[in-house]
Amino acid sequence: MDQVGHFIGGKHVASTSGRSQDIMQPMDGTVRGQVALGTVAELRQAVENAKAAQPAWAATNPQRRVRVLMKFLQLVERDYNELAELLAREHGKTIPDAKGDIQRGLEVVEVCIGAPHLMKGEFTDGAGPGIDVYSMRQPLGVVAGITPFNFPAMIPLWKIAPAIACGNAFILKPSERDPGVPMKIAELFLEAGLPAGILNVVNGDKEIVDAILDDPDIKAIGFVGSTPIAQYIYSRATANGKRAQCFGGAKNHMIIMPDADMDQTVDALIGAGYGSAGERCMAISVAVPVGKETADRLIEKLVPRVESLKVGPSTDPTADYGPLVTQAALDRVRGYVDTGVKEGAKLVVDGRGFTMQGYENGYYMGGCLFDDVKPDMKIYKEEIFGPVLSVVRAANYEEALKLPNEHEYGNGVAIFTRDGDAARDFASRVQVGMVGINVPIPVPIAYYTFGGWKGSGFGDLNQHGSDAFRFYTKTKTVTSRWPSGVKEGAEFVIPTMN
């Protein structure tokens, strides 16, 4: 049985807290091991190691730093199948989905190999008489990431790679539900040549989170999780003078215009709504068909597809999706479905009674499909984070557009249409951070930035892309003038470029 402690100063370190939490295997409900719930002192030990190692790493030229990233990519490729299986067993997603989780993280690592270019400053020759002005980007020092259970490879890599490429030391607090892959990532970075202390992993619960938020030597924090926790972390971190980028919940809509290719639309909805058991912040959880005829055609095609979804254990390569992450998550999602029925939504496919033969203790739920959902219902307003799709019928385009615009979340949205004018108008007017046009999950490619609006994102800079390099560096601007030609005597007016 696995015993997961911390990774500090390039070594596995056992916790002395005496507190731990079971690591479950969602597909059969068995206990895989225990993960330590660390102490403030153990977090402080990681910070001290990071502080000691960071100056030499920052002084290493950017090309040499990114060579470590290049070697890391090779090592992940070597261990790809092992990592995917570990991820699937701890999280519950299928192995093909787990491989996608890893790959999306690696794509950000690949972009960060361009750090020598992305960290370049600016230079102005002759900004004034004998005066040159230039800027440089420098690392912040020690930074931290608090990452969620649903992408235990991708989101840690989204934060680790740009942070260390910029010359920072990084402390990761991964989810205690599936800590195995983050620990393996730290081991592989060490094997790739990252100096000990530059990447530390401290496992724990709220005690460690608060210690990170309050530690005076941690200069910036990145977080992904629920909106209430994102708000809490953002407010406490910024109150302590730290930079923070915090990403929260979502309620992603797909607008379906009357001219949309309905077969393509249904394919997109099935994958985007039910993939990974709906445990994605970019999952489509609301379908908005425009007009009664569109809605009726959509339901007619959706029902048999939802009913035929293949739910299976994480190791089944033919399964469409696997179990939810914990029993508590399963109970929560079932509760939302119960609430939707009580609120008067029409449950046209009910997956609550699904069981898996031979895996009766696993956390499985069949696909659920609601029709006639109204905007005042709880199942519309709140993030369910499970294999549940709600259909909200709109009479016309303007009514459909109003739904995502007025929702408290603004993470992702999509429109399916053959009309270029409608798509262009939608992309311009919708008040959501990431937009797909005939693309159901509009996660930007790694050299663009990822981030939602409204209650889905807190902070001025997004994840990955150029924003990551801005977030993990501070800009220093130098104005220089050499003695030749300098006038003697004190000057008492503010300098100008005259």
- What are the catalytic residues? 281
In angstroms, the CA 260 to CA 436 distance is: 14
**How large is the C-alpha radius of gyration of the chain?**
25
In angstroms, the CA 26 to CA 88 distance is: 9
The answer to whether 155 touches 148, Cβ cutoff 8 Å, is: yes
The span from the first CA to the last CA of the chain, in angstroms, equals 73
Tokens of 445: 């490619």
In angstroms, the CA 87 to CA 99 distance is: 9
Tokens of 367: 């696909």
Tokens of 487: 């006038």
Q: Which one-letter DSSP state was computed for residue 428?
A: H
In angstroms, the CA 174 to CA 183 distance is: 9
Q: Which one-letter DSSP state was computed for residue 320?
A: S
Tokens of 105: 């993280």
Phi/psi for 108 (5° steps) reads: -70, -40
Phi/psi for 352 (5° steps) reads: -65, -30
CA-CA distances (angstroms) from residue 405 to 372, 402, 411, 415, 426?
20, 5, 11, 13, 11
Q: Which residues does 15 contact at the CB level (< 8 Å), separation at least 6?
A: 5, 6, 36, 37, 38, 39, 42, 203
CA-CA distances (angstroms) from residue 50 to 5, 94, 200, 216?
18, 35, 7, 13
Q: Which of 381, 323, 379 is nearest to 347 (CA)?
A: 379
Distance of CA 429 to the CA centre of its chain: 25
In angstroms, the CA 415 to CA 437 distance is: 5
In angstroms, the CA 265 to CA 258 distance is: 11
The answer to whether 280 touches 384, Cβ cutoff 8 Å, is: no
The answer to whether 462 touches 450, Cβ cutoff 8 Å, is: yes
Q: Position of tokens 């999280």? A: 91
Distance of CA 371 to the CA centre of its chain: 29
Amino acid at position 88, single letter: A
Q: How many helices (H) and strands (E) does the chain have?
A: 16, 23
Q: Which of 263, 253, 251, 292 is nearest to 415 (CA)?
A: 253
Question: 456-484 burial, b for 16+ CB within 10 Å, e for fewer?
Answer: bbbbebbbbbebbbbbbbeeeeeeeeeee
